[in-house]
Amino acid sequence: MIKNKSVKKIKKVLVSVYNKSQIIPFIKILNENNIEIISTGGTKKILEENKIRVTSVESITQYPSILGGRVKTLHPKIFGGILNRSEIQADVDELKKHEISTIDMVIVDLYPFLETTKQTKDHDKIIEKIDIGGVSLIRASAKNYKEVLIIPSISSSTEILQKLINQNFFTSLEDRLFYAKKAFEITSQYEIDIAKYFDKYNTDTNKLSKTFTHYISKSQKLRYGENPHQKGRYYGDLEKLFTQLNGKELSYNNLLDLDAAINLMEEFDETSFGILKHNNACGFATCENILSSWNKALAGDPISAFGGVLVTNSHVDIHVAKEINKLFFEILIAPSFCEESLELLKTKKNRIILKKKNINLGEVSFRSVLNGVLSQDKDHITDDENIETVTEINASKKQMEDLKFASKICKHTKSNAIVLVKNKQLIGLGCGQTSRVDALNQAILKAEKFGFILDGSVMASDAFFPFPDCVQIAQTKGVSAVIQPGGSKNDNLSIDYCNKNDMAMVFTGNRHFKH
Give me the catalytic one of 77, 143, 319, 355. Answer: 143
Assess 386 for contact with a copy of itself (CB under 8 A): no
**Residues 306-345 as x/- pattern, contact with a copy of itself by CB under 8 A:** --x-------------------------------------
Ramachandran area for residue 307 (φ above 0: left; ψ -120 to 50: alpha; else beta): left
Assess 58 for contact with a copy of itself (CB under 8 A): no
- Minimum CB–partner distance for residue 443 and a copy of itself (Å): 11
Contacts of 413 (CB under 8 A, 6+ apart): 280, 281, 419, 429, 431, 462, 514
For the beta sheet containing 12-17, the strands, ordered from the edge strand earlier in sequence to the opposite edge, are 54-56, 36-39, 12-17, 105-109, 149-151
Q: Are 106 and 138 in contact (CB under 8 A)?
A: yes
Name the helix (H) or strand (E) containing 285: strand 280-286
Assess 368 for contact with a copy of itself (CB under 8 A): yes
- Minimum CB–partner distance for residue 417 and a copy of itself (Å): 9
Assess 241 for contact with a copy of itself (CB under 8 A): yes
What are the distances in angstroms from CA 159 to CA 175, 240, 478?
Answer: 12, 22, 67
User: Quick one: which of 32, 118, 228, 339 contacts a copy of itself (CB under 8 A)?
Assistant: 228
Give the chain's end-to-end CA distance (angstroms, integer): 46
User: Quick one: which of 136, 153, 156, 171 contacts a copy of itself (CB under 8 A)?
Assistant: 136
Closer residue to a copy of itself in complex, CB, 174/343: 174
DSSP state of 337: B
How far apart CA 59 and CA 120 sit, in angstroms, is 36
Which amino acid is residue 355, in one-letter code? K
Name the helix (H) or strand (E) containing 319: helix 318-324
User: Quick one: which of 31, 415, 484, 494 contacts a copy of itself (CB under 8 A)?
Assistant: 415
- Minimum CB–partner distance for residue 81 and a copy of itself (Å): 10
How far apart CA 178 and CA 477 sit, in angstroms, is 66
Scanning residues 200 to 219, which ones bind a copy of itself (CB under 8 A)? 202, 206-208, 210-217, 219
Closest of 112, 126, 111 to residue 200, by C-alpha: 126
Note every long-range contact of 179-183, with CB atoms under 8 Å and residues 24 or more positions apart, other chains counting.
179/142, 179/145, 179/149, 179/150, 179/151, 179/152, 180/141, 180/142, 180/143, 180/145, 180/150, 182/152, 182/153, 182/156, 183/138, 183/139, 183/141, 183/142, 183/150, 183/152
- Minimum CB–partner distance for residue 156 and a copy of itself (Å): 15
Kindly give the residue spans of alpha helices, DSSP state H, lying in 57-153.
57-61, 76-83, 89-97, 113-119, 123-128, 133-143
How far apart CA 33 and CA 29 sit, in angstroms, is 6
How far apart CA 412 and CA 390 sit, in angstroms, is 24
Assess 18 for contact with a copy of itself (CB under 8 A): no
User: Quick one: which of 19, 359, 396, 455 contacts a copy of itself (CB under 8 A)?
Assistant: 359
Assess 484 for contact with a copy of itself (CB under 8 A): no
User: Quick one: which of 374, 476, 478, 502 contacts a copy of itself (CB under 8 A)?
Assistant: 374
Annotated active-site residue 143? The verdict is yes
- Minimum CB–partner distance for residue 222 and a copy of itself (Å): 8
- Minimum CB–partner distance for residue 301 and a copy of itself (Å): 7
**Residues 68-87 as x/- pattern, contact with a copy of itself by CB under 8 A:** x-xx--xxx-xxx--xxx--
Name the helix (H) or strand (E) containing 253: helix 252-265
**Residues 108-127 as x/- pattern, contact with a copy of itself by CB under 8 A:** -------------xxxx--x
Closer residue to a copy of itself in complex, CB, 31/136: 136
- Minimum CB–partner distance for residue 327 and a copy of itself (Å): 14
Closer residue to a copy of itself in complex, CB, 351/514: 514
Assess 7 for contact with a copy of itself (CB under 8 A): no
Closer residue to a copy of itself in complex, CB, 26/197: 197
Assess 171 for contact with a copy of itself (CB under 8 A): no
Give me the catalytic one of 11, 28, 278, 346. Answer: 278
- Minimum CB–partner distance for residue 185 and a copy of itself (Å): 5
Annotated active-site residue 278? The verdict is yes
Assess 437 for contact with a copy of itself (CB under 8 A): yes
Q: Looking at 8-16, 147-155, 288-296, 504-512, which segment touches a copy of itself (CB under 8 A)?
A: 504-512
Provide the 10 A C-beta neighbour count for residue 149: 26
- Minimum CB–partner distance for residue 7 and a copy of itself (Å): 19
Q: Looking at 34-42, 148-156, 394-402, 507-515, which segment touches a copy of itself (CB under 8 A)?
A: 507-515
Scanning residues 250 to 289, which ones bind a copy of itself (CB under 8 A)? 252-253, 255-256, 258-259, 262, 276-280, 282
Q: Are 416 and 467 in contact (CB under 8 A)?
A: no
User: Quick one: which of 31, 286, 313, 433 contacts a copy of itself (CB under 8 A)?
Assistant: 433
Number of residues binding to a copy of itself, judged by CB under 8 A = 141
Regarding beta strands 504-507 and 388-389, do their DSSP bridges make them parallel or antiparallel, or are they unpaired?
antiparallel
Cα 110-112-118 angle, rounded to 5 deg: 165
Closer residue to a copy of itself in complex, CB, 192/493: 192
User: Quick one: which of 29, 56, 116, 191 contacts a copy of itself (CB under 8 A)?
Assistant: 191
Assess 448 for contact with a copy of itself (CB under 8 A): no
Name the helix (H) or strand (E) containing 482: strand 481-484
Could you write out the three-class secondary structure of 383-447?
CCCCCEECCCCCCCHHHHHHHHHHHHHHHCCCCCCEEEEECCEEEEEECCCCCHHHHHHHHHHHH
List the catalytic residues: 143, 278
